[in-house]
Chains A and B, each alone.
Chain A
Amino acid sequence: MSLDLAITAFTHLLALSLVIQTLEGISLSRRNDVKAVWVWSVQKGDLRHTSRIIQTLFAFFFDDRNYFFHLAIRLCVALSLLIQPYIGAAIFLLISSVILSIRWRGAFNGGSDFMTFVTVTGLLIGTSTSLFNDREMAWNAAFWYITIHSISSYFMSGAVKLLNQHWRRGSALTHFLDGGLYGPLTKRSFFRKPMIAKLASWGFILWEISFPLVLFDVDFAKVYCVIAFIFHLLVFRFFGLNRFVWAWVATFPAILYCAGRF
């Protein structure tokens, strides 16, 4: 994959991921039931260990009107990535992500927030380093940063499953699918059959722990990225984790760019 194509694909997919997250955030910020539960007057207790200045600062950020404006600006900045990635956008998005992480006590949606941090940080590396160095070198660093995080996420996820007896037996898969958002599994579901659950589990485990091999061949990387997309769609289908799909897809251009250059 050429550098220009990789940059364009990455920034467009990152924009898509951020737009989806931000539109959801804007929708939730307007709802009275959300405001009734996630009240800053209660949540500010998370910052009781900090200085008065920081507490005042975050009280300002999380005032209803300011919070909405912040999300509106975040939406515009995310959309601007479709035109041109630039350092100002990257800095804003990173700071915005920190603010949102504090608003939701560390993360709104767990892993997808973590990977969003990674891709936004990669954007910052690419845009900022381009100012002082060769553009190719800058984006090389950015894409390697993203690639290592993305690959390690699959590897780590597979490794911890491999070390767990219930995953090796297949029973963990059925257990988690039963508790999924769109669950429970029907009585006749394939995944209730022990052999199928075991085969599926081992399939996921082996695919995840072998992910680092994508670095050695670009065609291999393409196949793994297609499988990864299908995997994330399945995770969405059972667990409702739509943000995970787009957060990880945004890393694929980086993986495809770095594959074979190791």
Chain B
Amino acid sequence: MASVSAFIIALYLAVLVIALIKRGKEFDSPWLFLLRCFFPSWRFFDSPGPQPRLFVRVLSEDECWSAWTMFIPRAPFQLRDLFYNPENNLRLTEQTLIEHLSLDVQDLLEGQKVDALVSYALTQRVAHRVARTLSSDHKIKAYQFELRLLPGLDDDPSEHRLLASPIIKEADYVS
């Protein structure tokens, strides 16, 4: 039993070293992506590179487009969040979705359509949710979203637009 334990530990340490060497490479298998909990990388806030952000604008009932508004999870601090924090965790999950979309868009192969991506379809719904909050009465005629890479701490100070959605009419929105 002791030798089996030692072997398992040694095997795991080897996996750890490989993970450190291969850090930064993303999963390209659907099952590995869905079950990545079994292969933790433990990379937290490791690189302050370009940050993908969702921008949304809305067309109001009086045919005026709003300014582009960036979605960024923000909340006032509450101590009780330490024990119960569903709303904020959900917003953070939405930001993670946007980061996945950013990676999916950059990995698209020639001829592949972005609107076939699950991450795109879900982001469209997140954008719809955000769009409705931009209108005081939650009524909108249409909305549009963009995915942009905001500069990090690396040398490139410019902002890059990764994708722009078509204008989505509220009447055409499928819930």
Q: Are A182 and B46 in contact (CB under 8 A)?
A: no
Q: Which chain A residues lie closer than 8 Å to B96 at the CB level?
A: 107, 110
For B85, give its contact among A24, A33, A179 (CB under 8 Å): A24
Q: Are A175 and B44 in contact (CB under 8 A)?
A: no
Q: Which chain B residues lie closer than 8 Å to A183 at the CB level?
A: 74
Q: B12 an interface residue at 8 Å Cβ cutoff?
A: yes
Q: Which chain B residues lie closer than 8 Å to A39 at the CB level?
A: 125
Q: Which chain B residues lie closer than 8 Å to A144 at the CB level?
A: 5, 9
Q: Which chain B residues lie closer than 8 Å to A34 at the CB level?
A: 90
> How many residues of B are in contact with the other chain, CB < 8 A?
61
A162-179 Cβ-contact flags toward B at 8 Å (1 or 0) = 001010000110011001
Q: Which chain A residues lie closer than 8 Å to B86 at the CB level?
A: 23-25, 27-28
Residue in B closest to A35 when the chains form the complex, CB atoms = B175
Q: Are B40 and A242 in contact (CB under 8 A)?
A: no
Q: Give Cα A32 to B155, complex, Å.
A: 43
If A118-B40, A156-B16, A175-B48 touch, does A109 touch B89 (CB 8 Å cutoff)? yes
Q: Give Cα A133 to B4, complex, Å.
A: 14
Q: Are B34 and A20 in contact (CB under 8 A)?
A: no
Q: Which of B59-67, B75-83, B163-171 contacts A (4 or more CB under 8 A)?
A: B75-83
Q: Which of A62-70, A95-103, A189-197, A219-227 contacts B (4 or more CB under 8 A)?
A: A95-103
Q: Which chain B residues lie closer than 8 Å to A5 at the CB level?
A: none
Q: Are B51 and A179 in contact (CB under 8 A)?
A: yes
Q: Are B152 and A175 in contact (CB under 8 A)?
A: yes
B120 to chain A, nearest CB (A): 10
For A172, give its contact among B45, B85, B90, B119 (CB under 8 Å): B45
Q: Are B37 and A181 in contact (CB under 8 A)?
A: no
Within 8 A of A (CB), among B26-41: 30-31, 33-38, 40-41
Q: Are A181 and B43 in contact (CB under 8 A)?
A: no
Q: Are B129 and A141 in contact (CB under 8 A)?
A: no
Q: Which chain A residues lie closer than 8 Å to B20 at the CB level?
A: 156, 159-160
B19 to chain A, nearest CB (A): 7
Shortest Cβ-Cβ A-B pairs, 9 listed: A114-B40, A156-B42, A24-B86, A45-B118, A160-B46, A153-B42, A37-B125, A175-B48, A172-B48
21 A–B contacts from the bound complex (CB under 8 Å): A20-B83, A37-B122, A37-B125, A46-B34, A101-B34, A101-B36, A102-B34, A105-B100, A106-B35, A111-B40, A113-B37, A117-B37, A144-B9, A148-B9, A156-B16, A157-B43, A160-B46, A179-B72, A181-B73, A181-B91, A240-B85
Beyond A101-B35, A102-B35, 9 extra complex contacts between A and B, CB < 8 Å: A39-B125, A110-B96, A111-B44, A144-B5, A156-B42, A164-B46, A175-B48, A181-B75, A241-B92
> B interface vs A, CB < 8 Å?
1, 5, 8-9, 12-13, 16, 19-20, 23, 30-31, 33-38, 40-48, 51, 72-77, 81-86, 88-94, 96-97, 100, 118-119, 121-122, 125-126, 128-129, 152-153, 175
> A interface vs B, CB < 8 Å?
20, 23-25, 27-28, 33-34, 36-39, 42-43, 45-47, 49, 97-98, 101-102, 104-111, 113-115, 117-118, 133, 137, 140-141, 144-145, 148-149, 152-153, 156-157, 159-161, 164, 166, 171-172, 175-176, 179, 181-183, 233, 236-237, 240-243, 245
